[in-house]
Amino acid sequence: MFDKALFYFFASLAVVSAFLVVTRRNAVHSAIFLITALLATAGIFLQLHAEFLFIVQIILYVGGIMVLFVF
């Protein structure tokens, strides 16, 4: 029951954040919502016991790509 609720939380957070990425006019706000969407995706990976994908998602995408996008 808790796993299902956690999955729905991460999935809805990812969908709402992705929607906000494309609707915001400010690039910094879009980047923050993209970070949120990527972290929600990483949470889904962790819930699926894909620890390697969880770490790669956080380090590579959230850490690396978003630093390049913001600066």
Mean pLDDT across the stretch 2-27?
Answer: 94
In sign, the C-alpha dihedral spanning 11, 39, 29, 69 is: negative
Inform me whether the pLDDT recorded for 66 exceeds 90.
Answer: no
19-33 residue pLDDT tens? 999 999 998 899 899
42-51 tens-digit pLDDT: 999 999 999 9
Q: How far apart are the first and last CA of the chain?
A: 41
**CATH entry 2.60.40.1120 includes domain 2-70:** no
Instruction: Say what the pLDDT of residue 63 is.
Output: 79
> Half-sphere exposure of residue 29, counting CA atoms within 13 Å on the CB side?
8
Q: Domain-by-domain residue ranges, the chain?
A: 2-70
d(CA 58, CA 36): 11
- Structure confidence at residue 71 as a pLDDT band (50, 70, 90): confident
Residue 5 has pLDDT above 90, yes or no: yes
